[in-house]
Chains A and B, each alone.
Chain A
Amino acid sequence: MAWARKLLRVNLTDGTVSSEPLNMAWADQYLGQRGLASKYLVEEIDPRCDALGSDNKLIMATGPLTGTMASTGGRYSVITKSPLTGTIACSNSGGFIGAELKAAGWDMIIFEGRSPKPVYLYVENDQAQLLPANDLWGQSVWETDRLLHSKHQDPALRIACVGRAAEQGALICGVINDLHRAAGRSGVGTVMASKHLKAVAVRGTKGVGNLKDPIRFLKETEYRKRVLQQNAVTGQGLPTYGTQVLMNVINEMGALPTRNMREVKFEGAGNISGEAMHENRPGDGRPNLTTNAACFGCTIACGRISTVDQGHFSVKNKPKYWGSSGGLEYEAAWALGTDTGVDDLDAITYVNFLCNEDGLDPISFGATVAAAMELFKDGVITTEQTGGIDLQFGGAQALVTMAELTCRGEGFGRDLGLGSRKLCEKYGRPELSMTVKGQEFPAYDPRGIQGMGLTYATSNRGACHLRSYTVASEVLGIPVKTDPLVTEGKAELVKAFQDATAAVDSSGLCVFTTFGWSMEDIAPQIDAACEGDWSVDKLLEVGERVWNLERDFNLRAGLSAADDTLPKRLLTEPANTGPAQGRVADLGKMLPEYYQLRGWTADGELTQDTRTRLGL
């Protein structure tokens, strides 16, 4: 079975908690985590509700393989309506709290309403209660974590919480768990804070033992662990260099969006790359990277644990930041570094620490600073708005100051907390916002990787690489190499990636396994664990159903095909150098075919045939 078959419903308005059985008919259609929680959300909220109002709900959901012995089986997701985009949001995180929640006997927690006062949820196996959080409100993620561990005198307690930025209403906040793992995107932390829910603290000791065929499950998962270990990417590349190995790859091929996506190559990329994280610093003779790290049950261990040189200006006289903590992933390094033109590895590592400490999405934050830097460059904003800060591209000190202000919700940091779209709209230059549906771009320029343009434009949560990572094929040759500069075949590629990823995101596994596993590796593990027949075809159908469910929510929320687009810059301003020189993102050549493959009308609406086929 793998599912705990039980969910926890928390009414924050009334201060009540209750247990109810999981809808297993829905589990058969949507599997778990992203898919199943999206189904609950869609059924329970009005898509047009105010994302920060009490009518919105927030769901923390595990997948059936979360907490099991499957490699990477520790994922959980936060699902809600996003205040940043107005779309459905699903942000996925690793760490340990997902497995802990499952071991406590719960598949998911549904939070509804709004508490009149700050509270946190404490779960110990079957027991759950809301407790006052007046002493936690106003504290950072790191301090909240410390206080809760101290209060409950339980070092094994797993905690997910929001930081000060979310309390202050910044729209680009995630939910941080285990100090530096994040359900980071789409403002899910802002929703949590809007409900006066500061933290969720979980202790589970029951384990996950209710597998359909335990012996077969152990065999299937043990074999697939060896596959990951023997794969050059998942066995060597990711543990050694992490995702940051991509900084030089994407830069060399001229698809690294630079300085608010005005350019496609960054002259400082080598200084902030995965390779640079291994080099000894001139200041203290130590490398940025302390070690790699693994989430629950993971045999890849791509996580980065880093330090900042204690003599660096950003941490001088700040001993709190002298120890090792969560280091740079590629997307964060790109947004905080390349997109702002900052190539100071210590500075962006420190800012990454701050994003973890106070729950900012480093992609959205970095991209928003980049937009502000362009506003500053154009003279739209001046030191009058920035509080005297010279907000030039490349300014490490300015970046650091802006991060500190945004974490505390002070000064110009309040404007940055709005995210790129609202910031640029506020200052009358919406075209400078590099966003889709209000969410900031990740680190791949669609002028040089055409499939990513379609990926971004059609993503159900706004610009995002994790909804359809065609970079795997277009750049890295996984599973097969395709030409990044052509548009032919990309509609089919994007749809295939979207459906497969939606299925993986519903399982409890990490999508990074797909660098070493195919769906033929994933399906048998789910089938051995879960009741029912879980073939590859069924999984892909689940993925397609989830995608369409999300799309339907967004359409009912008021979005339309007009939102399936890219910023004007990427559609009209050609790449200035590299293999893509002279190219724009040719979205118009891919989108109609994509709609057709999806079974949607030319206006991007689901047809009745599609609804019937998928049971929507």
Chain B
Amino acid sequence: MHIQVATSATPSLRSTLGWRALSLAGAIALGLCAPSWAAEAPFPSTYQALASETTLIRGATVLTGTGERLNNADVLMSDGKIQAVGQQLQTPAGAKVIDGEGRWVTPGIIDVHSHLGVYPSPGVKAHQDGNEITGPVTANVWAEHALWPQDTGFAAALAGGITSMMILPGSANLVGGRGVTVKNVPATSYQAMKFPDAPHGLKMACGENPKRVYGEKGRFPSTRMGNVAGYRQAWIDAQEYADKIKAYEDKLAEGEDAKAPKRDLRLETLAGALNGEILVHMHCYRADEMMTILDMADEFGYQVTAFHHGVEAYKIADELAEAGTCGALWADWWGFKMEAYDGIQENIALVDRPANGCAIVHSDSAEGIQRLNQEAAKAMVRGQRAGMDIDEARAIRWITSNAAKSLGIYDQTGSLEAGKMADVVLWNQNPFSVYAQAQQVFIDGALIYDRNDPDYQPLSDFMLGQSAEENR
């Protein structure tokens, strides 16, 4: 699998995004601690883990996210990290011990496709901030700039065990803009949620949505032909921009005088996607269209990290595995439009089937994000019924490690391994049951949600003081 990982923990000396070279200071910083783009990029994360205590969950069924299931096992968290996972761990002095008997522990659940905050609840007119429907290529816009942290959906998702998610612009445009990965912590600004050092995603869209939105306005594109021409032109422009930046940097490096090219936010983002620092997440339903996109990625030398929705991904599961492209999919949505007509419930299991298959269960829904475990369970059973050997230990990867890989954060979260962020869910029972509920949710080792303790149940500013809430 060729999942792009670009985080502080995996330094890369890959070529730069343009803006860093625009000042000499930036160029020096680049040389010192690459890849510093995340740290140096504007709108930096101000996320701080909440206070945590050393916590040992004792004697639970543990799904590690790496494909393993450990029975009667312990999980030790301290200093915000997973310290150990295994049987009969020593209890450190002063550790809080949680009885895990009969309970299950999984990594924090990750949703790679959410519009929380940009299409929030309440979904009033003033809140419709997810699609910049004024041009088919709006690579210059960033979802985080519309992200309303008071969306009541965040707390609801937390009760479903969601610890991280990527929030994307919508699919009206060929290129919708940058997506942001956040930790699901209550906050007053999105910066305080922003996942430290996570790469941006680039939201792109195939098929019916862009051609409908612009075709109905009598504008380009109005066909799938137009869609592809639109992407290719954008990539050509981005290549030219990247070349210009590179020529400028080369001159600086040789000590020559050079005038910095004018920054172009649109092309900056696209160039970042071409060089792999921004991960391409593309809304695409039909198998034939996904094959077209993979060819286009070859033409321009970039990687499609994941196709989202991919209702027909099962038809090209081998090709996706070969390309190292994940399928971020629904368990059973279908039929709401023509390109979703061939949906089947075995889609996720079939994408998971090839040796390098990368299946992800995503939600794209404020309801679905609250029970991704159930969606994974449905997909698991359909795979089993179709003769595939899929157990819980394997299926949990679809909403933990595979999701983390596609977001470029797997070195930090997405599995229960020593040294990783202690993003952990304690379930009252096997989470692949409709009756399962997240009992406690930890983010960086801190208890963020407790089903049995109202003191650990956040309430958005919006709901505060509403009589519905007071009457509860």
Partners in one complex: no
Chain A interface residues toward B at CB < 8 A: none
